[in-house]
Structure 1
Amino acid sequence: MLVFDADDTLWENNVVFERVIDDFLEWVAHPTLDRMQLRAVLDDIERANAVTHGYGSKVFLRSLRECLERLRQRPATEAERHEIDDLAVALVTHQVELMPGVADALDQLAGRHELLLLTKGEREEQQRKLDACGLLHHFKTAYIVPEKNVETYREVVREQAVDPARAWMIGNSPRSDILPARAAGWNAVFIPNDNTWVLEHDQLDAADAGVLHLSAFPDLLRHF
């Protein structure tokens, strides 16, 4: 059983958020903090909001507003809230852009293996991307979950009645795709993405034989 992450594995996602963050940091400016320090403030706010409110564009906008208010030490004005909304229009209008080789690789893999999809985030937003991607026919089941943790992976194999040792999680996020899958007894395939969200970074054990490291999605065809 091959289980695929969606955002930044099947299609580009976080690069759009990064563009908005760049525009936000340029707009907000600060008399004493540089861009790296401003980004650290935003990262802390996003980390806290992810725990409390989850993921997605709405939570991201909330984090931008809270960051502005923390930096300005006052509530955001109506004009400032509108400015942030305008900066983030790209999040709503962005079209799903598949990673190179994804469509052809899935066509071949679907003929050899049972494929599932496992993505986290706000359900309506993730479903919109799934409906637009043109790939859903390849997957037996598509899971949209609020968080990917060890219990999430255990629940998937229970529902699918599969031995965890025969399951492979394929994704770009050490924190959400690789480490919890391994802790649940799965194998994993790590396909790095230069635009992976900073909060999804984590250290992987280079000696872990249960993690296959690939450089690009089509490389899966040499192994599965």
Structure 2
Amino acid sequence: MAGPLTTIGFDADDTLWQNETFFRLTQDRFAELLADHAERDHLHERLLAAERRNLGHYGFGIKGFMLSMIETAIEVTQRRVPASVIAEILSTGQEMLSHPIELLPHAAEVVADLSGRFRLVLITKGDLLDQERKLAQSGLGEMFDAVEIVSNKTEATYRSAFARHGDGADRAMMVGNSLKSDVRPALEAGSWGVFVPHGLTWELEHAEAPEGHARFHEIADLGALPALIERIAR
């Protein structure tokens, strides 16, 4: 029988701070740059296909996104994309890599409230340097007992992380905005999975909600997390 809840994992991007918003703004700029070569919807489909193909090569994050934009620009212009457009794509990507952190509502107070009462583990995907930068700027870093920046999030990821930094997956909870990456594989590992929807979620992170699973919960925002934890931890 599972023991009490002792460890809480948090996703970072679009759970603790804004992320997808900046990707969408950059995609809008990308569409403007290539407006003479492709319709916006078609360009979006081509870019998404490139991102899907390239995940195994570049992983998740801004650098892979930049390279996928460049690849898509070369494809839709039949290799005639001007150097000025490539330069602009690189510039917008560099802006993303230096954009100030914008914490989501309740993130700071909830992490502070839970810190010290539970083991807190940040489990996030993306570019190592970029994720480290965002965590440092967020002001939340010292409240986490451990940080895991991983190439992907699977059942094995959570089993391993919660074994190293907690009392095992069955005594842990994962909180995040992605059903595909944060919730479903955590449930498969035996943890609680808490879905915190974000207004914008990358298409490649969409998945069906595991309705009916005893350890699945959905909350409107992070402000509702402490009360949910109190109910579970009784």
Q: Secondary structure at the match of 1:143?
A: strand
CA distance in 1, matches of 2:224, 2:33: 40
Among 100, 105, 110, which residue is 1:105 paired with?
Answer: 110
Residue 136 (structure 1) shift = 1.1
Matches within 5 A, 1:95-174: 95-160=100-165, 162-174=167-179
Residue 184 of structure 2 corresponds to 179
- TM-score under structure 1 length normalisation: 0.94
SS of equivalent to 1:168? strand
**In the TM superposition, what is the alpha-carbon distance from 1:209 to its structure 2 partner?**
2.2
Residue 126 (structure 1) shift: 0.9
After superposing the two structures, state which structure 1 stretch, 89-98 or 207-216, moved more: 89-98
Q: Secondary structure at the match of 1:119?
A: strand
Aligned partner of 2:130: which letter?
Answer: E
Specify whether residues 76 and 189 from structure 1 end up closer, same or farther in structure 2 by C-alpha distance, changes over 3 A only: same
Whether the aligned pair in 2 keeps the contact of 1:56 and 1:121 (CA below 8 Å) is: yes
* Equivalent-residue separation in structure 1 for 2:206 and 2:33 (angstroms): 27
Q: Does residue 18 of the first structure (1) align with residue 18 of the second (2)?
A: no
Deviation per CA, 1:136-188: give whole Å up to 9, x if none. 11111011111111211121122135232211000001111011111111111
Residue 27 of structure 1 is matched in structure 2 by 33
Letter in 1 for 2:30: F
Contact 2:9 2:173 in 1 (8 A): yes
Distance 1:135 1:4 in 2: 11
Alignment gaps of 5+ in structure 2: 1-6, 230-234
SS at structure 1 position matched to 2:198 = coil
**8 Å Cα contact 2:50/2:72 also seen in 1:** yes
Opposite residue 49 of structure 1, the aligned amino acid is N
Instruction: Give the direction of change, closer, same or farther, for the CA distance of 1:161–1:218 in structure 2 (3 Å limit).
Output: closer
Q: Tell me by how many angstroms 1:77 deviates.
A: 3.6
Secondary structure of 2:124's counterpart equals: strand
CA-to-aligned-CA distance 1:83-132 (integer Å, 9 cap, x gap): 21233343023101111111111111114222111111111111111111
Normalising by structure 2, we get a TM-score of 0.90
**Bigger mean CA deviation after superposition, 12-21 or 76-85:** 76-85
Report the counterpart of residue 40 of structure 1 in structure 2: 45
Q: Give the match for residue 6 of structure 1.
A: 12
When structure 1 is superposed on structure 2, of 124-133 and 79-88 the one drifting more is 79-88
RMSD: 1.5
How many residue pairs get aligned? The number is 223
Amino acid at match of 1:207: G
Task: Classify the secondary structure of the residue corresponding to 1:128.
Answer: helix
The percent identity for this pair of structures is 35
Consecutive unaligned residues of structure 1, counting only runs of 5 or more, are: none
Q: CA deviation at 1:56?
A: 1.7
Q: Report deviation, 1:80.
A: 2.1
